[in-house]
Amino acid sequence: MLNKKITDLLNSQINKEFYSSYLYLDMSNYYIEKNLSGFGKWFGIQAQEEHEHAMLMIKYILNNSEKVVFEEIAAPNKHYKDFKHPLEGSLEHEISISASINSIYAEAYGLKDFRTMQFLDWFVKEQGEEEKNASDLCKRFDLFATDPRGLYLLDAELGARVFKAPSLTI
């Protein structure tokens, strides 16, 4: 059985992961509407990944005989001023998600909940990768996308991304 505080924090994180999926779908739609289908596909895959993260947390809570509690998922309602704006927003968002997961980890550490800490190890590592990917994409945009041909090539490269489901066993 999980500590109630850990269960509550994980349930809250599930909402954040589903919101992340909504946010990335919003970004995907923005790029597709602007005829940057590669960027759109990249963010569509990000949305799938975030959905899978939420599903992993749901499974963990249920496997520990606790109740999953769904909260309302806010609509992103973002308005992007240019092509770089969603990229910067995704980096800021990933940093906030990392902080949230780190808070759950710190609580589990304080409670000596080693099982939850072990479960969260994968998410801590994943968030490092997510922050790096978002940061790298911002930097690559600055390097290449100021030129229409560079933007076209970067869009084509991002369109080659494929979804890989997480390989975390619970």
Q: What is the pLDDT of residues 60-90, one digit of tens each?
A: 999 999 999 999 999 998 899 999 999 999 9
- Percent share of the chain, pLDDT over 90: 92
Euclidean distance between CA atoms 148 and 72, whole angstroms = 40
pLDDT for res 27: 98
Q: Where are the beta strands (DSSP E) in 3-111?
A: none
Question: Contact, 136 vs 90, CB < 8 A?
Answer: no
Euclidean distance between CA atoms 21 and 52, whole angstroms = 9
**Residue owning tokens 């975030």:** 50
Question: Contact, 25 vs 44, CB < 8 A?
Answer: yes
Spatial CA neighbour of 24 closest among 163, 166, 123: 163
Q: What's the pLDDT tens digit per position in 120-164?
A: 999 999 999 999 999 999 999 999 998 999 999 999 999 999 888
State if pTM tops 0.85.
yes
pLDDT for res 26: 97
Question: Contact, 78 vs 86, CB < 8 A?
Answer: yes
- The full set of domains in the chain, from first to last, is 4-158 (1.20.1260.10)
Q: How far is CA 142 from the centre of its chain?
A: 22
**Residue owning tokens 């969603």:** 86
Euclidean distance between CA atoms 95 and 120, whole angstroms = 16
CA 55 to each of CA 59, 68, 143, 144, 165: distance values in angstroms, whole numbers, following the listed order: 6, 11, 36, 36, 11
Burial, 50: exposed, middle or buried (Cβ in 10 Å; 0-12, 13-18, 19+)?
A: buried
